[in-house]
Structure 1
């Protein structure tokens, strides 16, 4: 492992590990009980492994932001990318940053003295000002706070291992595997893979690696570093949640759980430090998300919607959704992400084999089948109207969309032979 791969891997770890990701592993551990290693494995596979593979796959495919467009076509890629940017920048991630900040930074310290509505108005006003007039302090705070946050987590996990909060009991849920997969979707890291892959590629080139083979080697090693570190951190947090069942209320939510664990292990001072760090980290994340979303809207509308107009619209919508509360946002996000994440996942994994896939129809068939299967599965989860899907392979593991996606890929490959002949995909 060379120095460049280690440095870039640490940077990739910091990009994937946002403050929002902090709340899901402990809650997964709480629900999973003594089956927390199984829940963790499912969470890590969906969130960490697939995302890190995606970074390698996109760079192997050329690293361009057009990688997905090149295999799915402009219209399909536009739909998929727009769905992803709306989730990360408008509907889920941006509102969740403010709601998480309130639950972890304001409510534990001030109680009901400040409500969610006035706090969210102030939060998004600051986000709007910083996004309209970006200042270097946003970058500085982001770079400083991630190491502080991780250091605090390491200390907390070490304390939790040395003096467990309580015994690890039986699971509180009968769907540990599905819950682990759902929590992995909730982080939305898979939807950020394209942007992260570009940043990694630029970092590798800046380090002096000019040819594709050496770039891919460093990228793969850096992704491995990020994968290992994320797994260790998430593993520690999941274990802490598993030990907390006897010391927290039965109706505790995700953000409140981590604050209660922090207070139990590190006292009021630790809780205050966590609140400040998470608050600033969420603020910088929100600035990046809404700014990127506004820029994307400006680009796809050919500037018919200007950056400032798009930015104001994004902030207002995020503000309104934020006031639904963190628990409601997470609940509403689950079905949306269950539909959007599978086609992203299958596409980025297939990109890893792009040089061996002879037609773009393979990608199109896989993505279309993944969307169709996910829509049906999500509709059943919400209504119970399609009980036959429970007999599908991998249903109990939360991956019953995968066989249809593979069948769709095979059907697409056959269509490709018919319509494209045997001409290979253009080399990246």
Structure 2
């Protein structure tokens, strides 16, 4: 019955939209260096990266489809106040880290190699234009996005094919102590699990407007199929970039930054002109991402202050000011700064996604609260270690499961969930 109402073409359109949302140009700089450093263990890092950069975000979209709500509903079962704090925290991180990173990627990939402009100058011009478009809610950005993602995807497939089929070498020894967990943690830097929580509700609203006759179950199936199509595309792209990085690892200096590795790969596969073309495309894609993040954050603050346009403008200005402030730093520095925030917010986000995707009878508010606060508590050692205080983490590494992989929160969260399930069955 559902297939009679849902056309395959519309599923592909939604799949492309989802792919575009998660396919941030900033993400492209992560897999090549990861592959270069992983060497013969590229498939282990690839699996880890795919779990946190593809699997969890796609499950986030499915969780929204099951919830049929917005971002605020994601943590409502913990408490409305906790949910509001979670929303503020997610948006604060978004405008402080991934948005500025787009300017830094643009400078290193599309400006510095060709023009004598400082990083501060690029950042000022970049976020000045972002501010103008956010205030005017220009249609330029959506129009660019319609052709930009398919074009970048095509160029990257040529790059990957050129290296893996014709021009690559043999992967060397791995430089990573724990390739699988390194892949998971590098996948955090895509921010895509957070992105799924933010944009999932927006997709549902658009779907209700465009297809108001769809029932809840049909809407879930529609989003599910589109989500897996998008996830498959991301998986192929990331795996190809990781393998390409591994195959060129012996020819590249291990001290190269993430953007430098991608540039070297691009020059090798596409030549000088092709590298320029890809750099311009990445710069444009970064710009549209920054506009989207600042606009989304400003919209949220506007809704929290009685639909105030002043709140929208102030938030847009603060977001762009933070962009200039942080965007002038190198990409790898911003990634290092982001790591502590991600070690705190990502475990929480992953747990909320997994809890929301389960049947409601399995996850009453008591289970939500206990699992969430258990996750937060056992994330403290990894967070402390990420800010230069590794004493607790080092103490636990000898006997606490997965602590040496900076995933010490996983077993406690799972254990608490199943304990509550067992207790619930016994009590019933």
User: Structure 1 length normalisation: TM-score?
Assistant: 0.91
Taking structure 1 as reference, are residues 23 and 7 closer, same or farther at Cα in structure 2, changes over 3 Å only?
same
Q: Which among 242, 246, 252 is matched to residue 246 of structure 2?
A: 242
Q: Which among 379, 389, 395 is matched to residue 396 of structure 2?
A: 389
Structure 1 alignment gaps of length 5 or more: 423-428
Deviations 1:286-324 (A, max 9, x none): 111112222323333554962212211221122111223
> 2:264 corresponds to which residue?
260
- Distance of 1:79 and 1:412 partners within structure 2: 26
Matches within 5 A, 1:347-426: 347-357=352-362, 359-381=364-386, 382-386=388-392, 387-390=394-397, 391-409=399-417
Deviations 1:33-82 (A, max 9, x none): 11001001001011111111111122112233332143222111112121
User: What secondary structure is seen at the aligned counterpart in 2 of 1:163?
Assistant: helix
8 A Cα contact 1:9 1:226, kept in partner: yes
Q: Which among 63, 66, 70 is matched to residue 60 of structure 1?
A: 66
* 1:86 aligns to 2:92 (yes or no): yes
* 1:72 aligns to 2:78 (yes or no): yes
- Distance of 1:125 and 1:380 partners within structure 2: 36
Q: Which among 161, 166, 169 is matched to residue 166 of structure 1?
A: 169
- Distance of 1:40 and 1:270 partners within structure 2: 26
Paired positions, count: 416
* 1:117 aligns to 2:120 (yes or no): yes
**18-27 or 295-304, which deviates more:** 295-304
User: What secondary structure is seen at the aligned counterpart in 1 of 2:167?
Assistant: coil
- Distance of 1:190 and 1:144 partners within structure 2: 25
* 1:218 aligns to 2:222 (yes or no): yes
8 A Cα contact 2:18 2:227, kept in partner: yes
> 2:350 corresponds to which residue?
345
- Distance of 1:298 and 1:207 partners within structure 2: 27
> 1:286 corresponds to which residue?
290
Structure 1 position 410, deviation (Å): 5.6
> 1:96 corresponds to which residue?
101
> 1:136 corresponds to which residue?
139
- Distance of 2:256 and 2:31 partners within structure 1: 14
User: What secondary structure is seen at the aligned counterpart in 2 of 1:383?
Assistant: coil
Aligned-residue CA RMSD (Å):
2.3
Structure 2 alignment gaps of length 5 or more: none
User: What secondary structure is seen at the aligned counterpart in 2 of 1:399?
Assistant: coil
- Distance of 2:213 and 2:112 partners within structure 1: 48
* 1:326 aligns to 2:326 (yes or no): no
8 A Cα contact 1:366 1:405, kept in partner: yes
User: What secondary structure is seen at the aligned counterpart in 2 of 1:250?
Assistant: coil
8 A Cα contact 2:119 2:329, kept in partner: no
Deviations 1:385-409 (A, max 9, x none): 0123213223354432112223444
> 1:16 corresponds to which residue?
22
> 1:31 corresponds to which residue?
37
8 A Cα contact 2:72 2:87, kept in partner: no
- Distance of 2:68 and 2:195 partners within structure 1: 17
User: What secondary structure is seen at the aligned counterpart in 2 of 1:324?
Assistant: coil
User: Structure 2 length normalisation: TM-score?
Assistant: 0.91
- Distance of 2:70 and 2:134 partners within structure 1: 25
Structure 1 position 248, deviation (Å): 2.4
- Distance of 1:416 and 1:118 partners within structure 2: 60
Structure 1 position 182, deviation (Å): 1.2
